[in-house]
Amino acid sequence: MNDVFLRAARGEATPYTPVWFMRQAGRYQPEYRKIRERYTLPEIVRHPEVTAEVTRLPVRQFGFDAAILFADITTPLYGMGFDLDIVEGRGPVIHNPIDTAEDVRRIHLFSAEAHTPFVLEAIRILKRELEVPLIGFAGAPFTLASYLIEGGPSKNFVKVKGFMYAEEEAWNLLMRTLTNAMVEYLSAQAAAGADALQVFDSWVGRLTRHDYERYVAPHMRRLFEALKPLGVPVVHFGTQTMHLLSPMAEAGGDVIGVDTTTPLDWARDRLGTRPVQGNLDPTLLFAPEPVLARGVEAVLSANTGRPGHIFNLGHGILPGTPPDAVRRAVELVHTLSEVRT
């Protein structure tokens, strides 16, 4: 197996910089769009063979050094009693959002075996066939709570923050409930064979540092503490989180995911030897080749040759990204990083 990704995640020196992209499987691929003509996203996830095929596709096509399990951060929410749809171009929409403390108490206890057996089966299939490490993942409690309380994607996060400020006790119960569910979900993924895990706290950067420390950090600390015995590296990722780098790193995660707005060298200087993942601007994949090459080079040099760098985008691949640019970006990371080490 190609274990360059896992070595970098442990902070070890590697012959070249490993690369994978968040949302590397998706609508920018004609092959994925073809599968989507027959299945909706939740249907793909409920068919382990189809999930395995969609997960493998970008690895085979573009030479990524890791695969990420095809699912969504909303996948475990159905079993917890939420009724939701994923609306194209918009994101998850919850038909029975959380409004009151009473709604929090009604959330069902999550069981990975009972509610997401198809996810575990897809992992087992993939582990038999993949030649690169498989990354399992889950949404972080704050990001999940933001969908559950807002009822869908949000711009200003007024409802979720309003609930957090006004109903602190119910908020903490919700965060504890989501933390326990995600520990159960991620532990089951690791037991099924996932080689690494990523926790997506995509929207946490919209909190002030003070609010993060009060309302989120204690739960994140408990989450990462509970994942430690699994013995697999865990990536902790958020976007627009430059002001949260220290408290997020302190909360946990073996690798810190750095988004586009946080300079990688600045992050590395503050994280010491802790491995980092990131942070090419996803829009550079729409740029002329020399501009893309310059962008890749800039990310590699911001890392200043230190071990423990996993190349990624600063956030997910955008719809409409040309597949050839993805292929070229992977090649550039491999060839340019090989020269430097």
Ligand X SMILES: Cc1c2[nH]c(c1CCC(=O)O)Cc1[nH]c(c(CCC(=O)O)c1C)Cc1[nH]c(c(CCC(=O)O)c1C)Cc1[nH]c(c(C)c1CCC(=O)O)C2
Query: Binding site residues, as ranges?
Result: 23-27, 72, 147, 202, 315
Residue 33 or 228: which CB sits closer to ligand X? 33
Least distance between ligand X and beta carbon 103 (Å): 21
**Choices 70-78, 124-132, 205-213, 333-341; region in contact with ligand X by CB under 6 A:** 70-78
Catalytic residue among 147, 185, 212, 215: 147
Residues 120-159, mask of contacts with ligand X (x by CB under 6 A)? -----------------x----------------------
Count residues binding ligand X (CB under 6 A).
23
Do residues 17 and 310 make contact, with C-beta atoms less than 8 angstroms apart? yes
Catalytic residue among 72, 85, 103, 211: 72
Query: In this structure, what token pair is assigned to residue 305?
Result: 């040759």
Measured CA to CA in angstroms, residue 197 lies from 13, 66, 68, 183, 230 at distances of 21, 11, 9, 11, 10
Determine whether 72 is an active site residue. Answer: yes
Which residue ranges are tagged as binding site for substrate? 23-27, 72, 147, 202, 315
Least distance between ligand X and beta carbon 172 (Å): 23
67 forms part of the interface with ligand X (CB under 6 A): no
**Choices 82-90, 124-132, 245-253, 289-297; region in contact with ligand X by CB under 6 A:** 82-90
**Choices 21-29, 100-108, 155-163, 324-332; region in contact with ligand X by CB under 6 A:** 21-29
Residue of minimal CB distance from ligand X?
202
What is the 3 state secondary structure string of the chain?
CCCHHHHHHCCCCCCCCCECCCCCCCCCCHHHHHHHHHCCHHHHHCCHHHHHHHHHHHHHHHCCCCEECCCCCCHHHHHHCCCEEEECCCEEEECCCCCCHHHHHCCCCCCHHHHCHHHHHHHHHHHHHCCCCEEEEEECHHHHHHHHHHCCCCCCCHHHHHHHHHCHHHHHHHHHHHHHHHHHHHHHHHHHCCCEEEEEECCHHHCCHHHHHHHHHHHHHHHHHHHHHHCCCEEEEECCCHHHHHHHHHHCCCEEECCCCCCHHHHHHHHCCCCEEEEECHHHHHCCHHHHHHHHHHHHHHCCCCCCEEEEECCCCCCCCCHHHHHHHHHHHHHHHHHHC
20 forms part of the interface with ligand X (CB under 6 A): no
In this chain, which of 3, 10, 31, 36 binds ligand X, going by CB under 6 A? 36
**Choices 16-24, 115-123, 272-280, 306-314; region in contact with ligand X by CB under 6 A:** 16-24
In this chain, which of 4, 9, 25, 190 binds ligand X, going by CB under 6 A? 25
Determine whether 195 is an active site residue. Answer: no
Restricting to residues 280-339, name those near ligand X by CB under 6 A. 315-316
Cis peptide before 279 (omega within 30 of 0): yes
In this chain, which of 62, 118, 171, 200 binds ligand X, going by CB under 6 A? 200
88 forms part of the interface with ligand X (CB under 6 A): yes
Do residues 217 and 172 make contact, with C-beta atoms less than 8 angstroms apart? no
24 forms part of the interface with ligand X (CB under 6 A): yes
Determine whether 36 is an active site residue. Answer: yes
Catalytic residue among 27, 221, 274, 327: 27
* Interacting residue ranges for ligand X, rule: CB under 6 A: 22-27, 36, 41, 68, 70, 72-73, 86, 88-92, 137, 200, 202, 315-316
The residues that are catalytic are 23, 27, 36, 72, 147
